[in-house]
Structure formats: structure tokens, C-alpha cells
Amino acid sequence: MIYHADFHIEYPDSWSPVDRFTPVAFRCASPLLIGARDVATVIIFHFKGVDQPREYFRRGVAKLSGRFAHFELLETDEILTKDVHLFKVRFMADGESPQSREQHEHQMHLGPRRSYVLEAKCRDVDYELYAREIDAILKSFKLIEPKQGLQTAPA
């Protein structure tokens, strides 16, 4: 379980957190399961707020399709919450080589003050092995509201 200043996320005990580095707020990797060819990873990127979330999402999907070879869009979804637009995109694309097709799920939590992208991926042939754990990790992501009124007045 990780408590960041701005969010909370849970991951299985068998998964290992990986050293954080900017602009990554959090990164973890699964163990190599029996029968799997590679591990699965979940990464959280954080950045400033977004004024036009739908346009940002549209441009983001366009960038993904240009960044990955043999990009195949599997599904998209949009969920409106009180403070954040949540966009989901799931796709397949070539990994480091055409023989290593990967399945990706990106969740974009886009708000006016702060935004996050959760990126989960694993090899396509391993997806069924990791899908339940990836889904649980992504669903556990919760934003933490900043504390208000803790400042003291100067004497």
C-alpha cells in the first residue's frame, strides 16, 4: 500500500515497488508468474491540471497511436466525477519487438488542479495471468484532498 501526498494506491504484497523518479509518482512490478513470459508493471505519472479534459484525452490517444507500432485500440471509456474526468483507454501494440505484443490500459484522471495517468502493461500472451491484479490496483487508486486550515497566523 502506498500513500503519496496526493493519492493512495494498493498493490499485492507480491508486487515490488520500484524506485521513484520524476515525473513518475509511483511504479511497481509483479513477480514473474509461472507460465508468464514477462512481468506486469503499473506506473503513475502526475502533472498539472488540465482545462479541457476531453481534448487532452483525444490528443493523448492520438499520441499513443503514433508512439506505438501496430497500435490497436480495444476500448475507451469516460467517467465524470465531482472533481475529475476519468478516461480509460485499453490497447495492444508492439513491445520492444514485434514478437512481444503488449496490452496496455491507461487511466487518465484529469482535473483542473492536478492530473494523473495510470499506465498498466504486460505482454498480451500474459494478460489473463495478470488481469485481475492489474484491475484491482487500478481500482484502488484514490485521490487525497489537501488538508485545509492548518496554517497559523503570524504573531
Residues 118/44, Cβ–Cβ less than 8 Å: yes
The pLDDT of residue 20? 61
* Among the listed residues 71, 141, 55, 60, the one whose alpha carbon sits nearest the alpha carbon of residue 104: 71
Cα 142 to Cα 108: distance, rounded to the nearest angstrom: 13
Q: Check pLDDT > 60 for residue 141.
A: yes
What are the pLDDT digits (tens) for 4-33? 678 889 999 999 988 665 567 888 999 999
Cα 15 to Cα 27: distance, rounded to the nearest angstrom: 10
Q: Check pLDDT > 80 for residue 124.
A: yes
The pLDDT of residue 155? 38
How many domains is the chain partitioned into structurally?
Answer: 1
Does 149 reside within a domain? Answer: no
What are the pLDDT digits (tens) for 103-116? 999 999 998 888 99
Residues 22/115, Cβ–Cβ less than 8 Å: no
Range of the domain at 56: 2-143
What are the pLDDT digits (tens) for 38-80? 999 999 998 888 999 999 999 999 999 998 889 999 999 999 8
Query: Which cell goes with 17?
Result: 515497488
Q: Is 12 helix (H, G, I), strand (E, B) or coil?
A: coil
Does 136 reside within a domain? Answer: yes
Mean pLDDT across 119-125: 94
Which CATH number characterizes residue 64's domain? 3.40.1000.10
Does 119 reside within a domain? Answer: yes
> Pairing relation of β-strands 7-9 and 2-3?
antiparallel
